[in-house]
């Protein structure tokens, strides 16, 4: 390659291009070092915003993921603050042991002093010395619907946040930044509330039985058919608790002799379900396809420990949107690896279903993929739909299996009828089957995902 006249040295020196792309001159200095630094900085910033998959060209479309980096000064001051509070916490515990300061902490009874401690030592230390200082800012009781603004019950503490007393007054119109009510369906008026009220008059509030006995209502069947149609799969199954949807169904799907490959930032319900299953668990780096592929390759080559027999199943467990980080799973690459190594895929769409994608169908819809490429689709009704519970969706034979083997299906009480109706009404609104165009405005822009 030849350089343009604008980039040639003015003194006639000839620069030679080396294999690493740097053009050192005869005197050993790089004349265009500043320009290269600016170019590299620009490329680095662009790469941070636009993450383009590069795992063998599995997916070439860029998608937007923007993350704000913590300033160094803020990080240093935060860690210093924690350090100072920890030192003072140990000092206060010393004063409590010598009865100089009054002790409010939970203690084991004297007759149980030889028992294994019921409380973890550092967790108890953190609660009484750090969390208690800011406890008045958390767990505030609300007395209104969880909309954009909420009303709080005012309370006061006479003993530095160890106990609280309610004053009887209400703090109104406080901005709500911590609710699952992403799309505003959890209201006490409107179409969803009216539908839930009508169903309550017909069916009551509780079912008082399991789906296997007398708690299988026609509205439960209607909900599951609607979920399956919404997701574009054969069948779906609804559960009364979102956390239990993961923790109780993963053990029914996979067991001993199988392998679970779990993202290191997966939700606690996924982690608990994996542990309860009895399967071997291996963790790959967050959203790192090279780390996942290495584990898949090693699992195929080496098999089970000691016996080296092939794994009965290999299940990849990921989330659609990771709630604490705001990152989107690299689903096209995960599906490509899953197909290449003949594994199964479990996708938790708790934070993406209903709000992400052109039709609000989650991260699968966001990437324009076929939902049948995901073996097990999971999601909750507690976020976008403003209700409670969760679902598992996929092939019909899988749903038939879970209806008889899932602990959450066999032993748990059926979903409350008004909750079921709330989900049906909000889902139809998102799908546009309510006769309005309101659902078109409910899709969240990807740039807001990190904020949520």
**Are 163 and 157 in contact, with CB atoms under 8 Å apart?**
yes
- Per DSSP, the three-state class of 19 is coil
- Cα–Cα distance for residue pair 415/239, rounded to 1 Å: 7
Two structure tokens written together for 252: 């029914």
Active site residue 383: yes
- Cα–Cα distance for residue pair 356/363, rounded to 1 Å: 6
Two structure tokens written together for 15: 């620069």
**Active-site residue, selected from the candidate residues 144, 179, 323, 450:** 323
**Are 422 and 267 in contact, with CB atoms under 8 Å apart?**
no
Q: 243 CB contacts (<8 Å, ≥6 apart)?
A: 268, 269, 390
- Cα–Cα distance for residue pair 250/244, rounded to 1 Å: 10
Active site residue 351: yes
Kindly report the number of other CB atoms within 10 A of residue 93's CB atom.
Answer: 15
C-beta pairs of 208-216 under 8 Å, 24+ apart in sequence: 208/413, 209/413, 209/414, 210/409, 210/410, 210/411, 210/412, 210/413, 210/414, 211/403, 211/409, 211/414, 212/403, 212/409, 212/410, 215/413, 215/414, 216/414
**Are 287 and 321 in contact, with CB atoms under 8 Å apart?**
no
Kindly report the number of other CB atoms within 10 A of residue 391's CB atom.
Answer: 24
- Concatenated DSSP letters of 242-256: HHHHHHHHHHHH--T
**Active-site residue, selected from the candidate residues 383, 414, 426, 428:** 383
Beta bridge partners of 394: 235, 376
Main-chain phi, psi angles of 204, to 5 degrees: 85, -175
Q: Are β-strands 63-64 and 149-156 bridged in parallel, bridged antiparallel, or unpaired?
A: unpaired
DSSP conformational letter for 379: E
Q: 203 CB contacts (<8 Å, ≥6 apart)?
A: 217, 219, 417, 418
- Cα–Cα distance for residue pair 405/397, rounded to 1 Å: 12
**Active-site residue, selected from the candidate residues 220, 267, 338, 351:** 351
Beta bridge partners of 50: 64
Two structure tokens written together for 301: 């080559």
| Residues that are catalytic | 323, 351, 383
């Amino acid at each position: 390659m030849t350089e343009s006249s604008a980039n040639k040295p003015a003194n006639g020196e000839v620069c030679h291009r080396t294999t690493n792309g740097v053009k050192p001159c005869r005197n050993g200095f790089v004349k265009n070092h500043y320009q290269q630094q600016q170019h590299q900085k620009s490329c680095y910033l662009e790469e941070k915003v636009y993450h383009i998959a590069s795992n063998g060209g599995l997916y070439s479309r860029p998608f937007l993921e923007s993350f704000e980096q913590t300033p160094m000064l803020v990080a240093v001051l935060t860690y210093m603050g924690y350090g100072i509070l920890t030192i003072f916490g140990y000092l206060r515990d010393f004063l409590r042991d010598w009865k100089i300061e009054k002790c409010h902490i939970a203690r084991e009874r004297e007759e149980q002093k030889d028992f294994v401690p019921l409380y973890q030592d550092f967790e108890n230390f953190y609660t009484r010395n750090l969390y208690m200082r800011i406890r008045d800012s958390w767990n505030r009781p609300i007395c209104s619907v969880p909309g954009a603004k909420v009303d709080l019950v005012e309370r006061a503490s006479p003993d530095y946040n160890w106990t609280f007393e309610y004053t009887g007054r209400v703090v109104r119109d406080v901005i709500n930044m911590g609710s699952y009510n992403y799309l505003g369906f959890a209201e006490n008026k409107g179409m969803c509330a009216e539908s839930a009220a009508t169903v309550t008059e017909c069916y009551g509030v509780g079912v008082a039985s399991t789906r296997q006995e007398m708690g299988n209502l026609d509205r439960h069947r209607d909900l599951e058919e609607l979920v399956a149609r919404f997701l574009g799969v054969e069948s779906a199954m609804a559960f009364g608790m979102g956390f239990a949807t993961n923790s109780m169904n993963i053990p029914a799907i996979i067991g001993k002799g199988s392998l679970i490959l779990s993202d290191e930032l997966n939700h606690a319900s996924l982690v608990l379900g994996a542990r309860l299953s009895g399967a071997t668990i291996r963790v790959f780096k967050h959203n790192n396809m090279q780390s996942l592929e290495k584990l898949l390759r090693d699992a195929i080559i080496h098999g089970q420990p000691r016996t080296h027999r092939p794994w009965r199943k290999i299940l990849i467990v990921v989330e659609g949107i990771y709630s604490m980080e705001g990152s989107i799973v690299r689903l096209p690459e995960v599906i490509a690896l899953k197909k290449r190594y003949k594994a199964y895929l479990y996708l938790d769409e708790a934070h993406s279903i209903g709000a992400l994608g052109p039709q609000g169908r989650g991260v699968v819809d966001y990437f324009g993929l076929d939902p049948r490429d995901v073996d097990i689709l999971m999601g909750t009704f507690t976020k976008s739909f403003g209700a409670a519970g969760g679902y598992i969706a996929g092939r019909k034979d899988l749903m038939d299996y879970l209806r008889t083997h899932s602990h959450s299906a066999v032993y748990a009480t059926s979903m409350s009828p008004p909750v079921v109706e709330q989900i049906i009404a909000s889902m139809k609104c998102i799908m546009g089957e309510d006769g309005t165009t309101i659902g078109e405005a409910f899709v969240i822009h990807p740039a807001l995902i990190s904020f949520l």
